[in-house]
Amino acid sequence: MTKSSLTGKFLLVATSTLALVAGAATAQDVSCPIRIGALAPLSAPGTVVGGEAMRDAMLIAEEDINAAGGVLGCGIEVVIGDSEGLPERAVAIMERLITQDGVVAVGGGYHSSVGVASKDVANDRGIPVVFAETWNDTITGDKQKYIFRIAPLSSWTSNIIWEFALTVPGVEKVAILTENTDYGIPASQETAKGLNENGVESVIFSVDIGTQDYSGIVNRIMAEDPDMIITLVTGEAAYNFTQQAADAGIGPLDIPFQTGQDALESGAYWENVPDGQYAFVQRIGVPESQFTEKGKAFAAVYKERTGKSDVESYAMEAYDSIAILAQAIEEAGSTDGDAIVMALEDIRHEGTLGTIYFDYGLKRDPSEDGKGDEWWHQWPDPAITMIQYQVEGQSSTEAAIVYPEAYKTADPVFVNQ
């Protein structure tokens, strides 16, 4: 599809992307194009499948916004930096985006370690960031002025994991595989705490990001004889662990097994994990049948562009992170960081994931409602569900939602019952 044909196709969708304010400022004091930076892991050891999905989504957002007339009379340009999933690389990329590429704001971000490491650079330079997929609570927990997030809190997602595990019949011991990152460490600790406080024993096994050979870990897990396995590693590493566990007789076909979130990219999942039927996967957002109109429009374009059968939640988050920044710049009437922050604090953005807003910030502290500091500049409403691949080769958007009850579409299948 040519870019010119895309322009016509996206015009109606893109118009709703920007809640244009009557009488908004023109670009007389703005350099065109307006550059918005973005972080994505496009090289190992980062989660490349996730990074590529985010990149594709953010470039679609750029096209949609420009088809709708741009921002402040300018086109936008999304400048994507490869974080490689590494904290030190993320710091260097954030510096480059701000000091060399001249971005006025930054979206994207997949790994929590990237968010934890790079946020101080942006905050110190007065550059607003809307992180798309970084879960670690501390990213917003230190209440920095310029840092926002539309991904859920790690503690919140961990609650869903252990609460679901408690519904699995006969579970007395859970093995948790986690990565030694700012996502994996707190997520495993929160999950273990919830299980232990409810009478379920847990054992945590830690590996470095990007680990490929799990034979030793699999043997150690087998020795613990768990009733369920929870996987908190990202990217292709989760595929490797899940299939190697299946080869050893403790995979999704053998015991209740939650695999990594990148199984949402179902084409890659089934290619790498042919024995992956009955795996559980945590998903941010509702199934495609319940998408917003913007979500459905984006999903159609995304699937056509990428050739995928479904759209991952982190792709939608990436799209929304760019679109919400564009709206904030338009409503601020300026590319000034302080003005963008004030616009973000007041924003109501109709995104692919739903209506995005921020309850707490400079105008209202989380403590006023008895909330912890992690709720600062945090979107409070992303849906969090547990899906299950109940049919071999199934796409993630067609998979059964088995938890929580509010979104449930089918009962879970427990293979060891």
Main-chain dihedrals φ then ψ at residue 70, nearest 5 degrees:
80, -155
The per-residue pLDDT for 310 is 86
Cα-based distances in Å from 344 to 57, 71, 271, 347: 21, 15, 41, 5
List of domains in the chain:
3-154+290-375 (3.40.50.2300), 155-287+385-403 (3.40.50.2300)
Q: Which 8-state DSSP code applies to residue 336?
A: -
The per-residue pLDDT for 145 is 98
User: Are 180 and 86 a contacting pair, CB within 8 Å?
Assistant: no
pTM: 0.85
In sequence order, the β-bridge partners of residue 144 are none
In sequence order, the β-bridge partners of residue 228 are 174
The per-residue pLDDT for 30 is 87
Which residue ranges of the chain lie beneath pLDDT 70? 1-29
**What confidence tens digit (pLDDT) does each residue in 217-254 have?**
999 999 999 999 999 999 889 999 999 999 999 999 99
Radius of gyration of the chain (CA): 21
Helix (H, G, I), strand (E, B) or coil at 147: strand
End-to-end CA distance of the chain: 49
The per-residue pLDDT for 25 is 39
Cα separation of 407 and 392, whole Å? 22
Main-chain dihedrals φ then ψ at residue 206, nearest 5 degrees:
-110, 140
Task: Tell me whether strands 34-40 and 349-351 are parallel, antiparallel or unpaired.
Answer: unpaired
Closest CA to 186 of 149, 137, 142, 233: 137
Within 8 A by CB and 6+ apart from 405, the residues are none
The per-residue pLDDT for 221 is 98
**What confidence tens digit (pLDDT) does each residue in 134-166 have?**
999 999 999 999 999 999 999 999 999 999 999
High-pLDDT (> 70) share of the chain, %: 93
Give the type of residue at 353: L
The per-residue pLDDT for 309 is 87
The per-residue pLDDT for 244 is 98
